[in-house]
Amino acid sequence: MTERLEDIAQAMVAPGKGILAADESTGTIKKRFDSINADCTEANRRDYREMLFRCNDAMESCISGVILYDETVRQKSDDGVTLVDIIKSAGAIPGIKVDTGAKDLAGAPGEKITEGLDGLRERLNEYHGLGARFAKWRAVIDIAEGIPSDYCLRANAHALARYAALCQEAGIVPIVEPEVLMDGGHDIDRCMAVTEAALNTLFDELYLHRVVLEQTVLKPNMVISGKKCATRAGVDEVAEKTVRTLKRCVPAAIPGIAFLSGGQSDEEATAHLSAMNAGYDLPWNLTFSYGRALQAAPLQAWCGNASNVTAAQTAFCHRARMNSLATKGEWSADLEQSAA
């Protein structure tokens, strides 16, 4: 049976489910393992991720897809089953991170451009053969005095659009991720203005590159105050200004929006998502594509010790369930505490 990218995209943002971002580079996951004094060996990285993927309660009920790293998409469990097949057996869709990271943007001090377009067509075809049915590419947009520049916004949007077109050619759904960072001391209105500019520039480029929006998932930041802002916006303001920005910029043809957590705490990311789904009439499904906001608790519970697997899976299941409720606007702080 022919796979339709529209169907895959819709399944990725299905109500009640979201995406687990387990695509940390080796350097990034080493920092996470260092924080729990665990050795960052290939076997440990495999065991940790396999532990999450085999958490059937969470995977079957709350997780629509998993973003993998190049190493992980090739790994097998001790009993010889590929991690891709473990994900598929839980009813989730395997995906793959394909960018090679953000580097300094020439001629633009303090700004970044994401690389990885060279050879991408061939890599996508290989990943499709390994079982990946969606991909992710992250652009990094920083806010500081005088930045982001139009040059940075356009360069990153152009790269995202080229990547997305290549994905659809290869039979892979692209997740386009223009992340406006929450580092710094900017207020929520500054974030709102930059996010609007980034999204408008992105959709202009997607149109020029003939990217089919019905076969595309957007992974944006929420509109939120910078971490160092003296007065940070509350949940209701974050929800209202994020929804207003999305309605200004994102065509209704996009099947769904899967937010990144972007450095928010576990509960913050859940509360903001729930407030948007509870309070607004929306043309798209709003869900999550969280890394740290899903993994921080199970990582701390695991600590690299096989005897802690059950506790870690319980922690992962709890966070997945809370975020599943948030996709339906049904989460509450009281429920968080009682469920915990």
For tokens 């609007």, name the residue.
Answer: 196
| Residue 107 falls in which region: left (phi positive, over 0), alpha (psi -120 to 50) or beta | left
CA distances in angstroms from 57 to 217, 321, 322, 324, listed in the order given = 25, 9, 13, 12
Among the listed residues 97, 112, 136, 219, the single catalytic one is: 219
Catalytic residue status for 177: yes
Among the listed residues 24, 50, 177, 205, the single catalytic one is: 177
DSSP structure string for 271-284: HHHHHHHHH---SS
Q: Could you give the 3-state DSSP secondary structure of residue 114? A: strand
Between CA 248 and CA 337 the distance in angstroms is 36
For 145, residues 6+ apart whose C-beta sits below 8 A from its C-beta are none
Between CA 29 and CA 35 the distance in angstroms is 10
Task: Using alpha carbons, select from 180, 182, 184 the residue that is nearest to residue 200.
Answer: 180
φ, ψ (nearest 5 deg) of residue 163: -60, -45
Q: Name the residues annotated as catalytic.
A: 177, 219
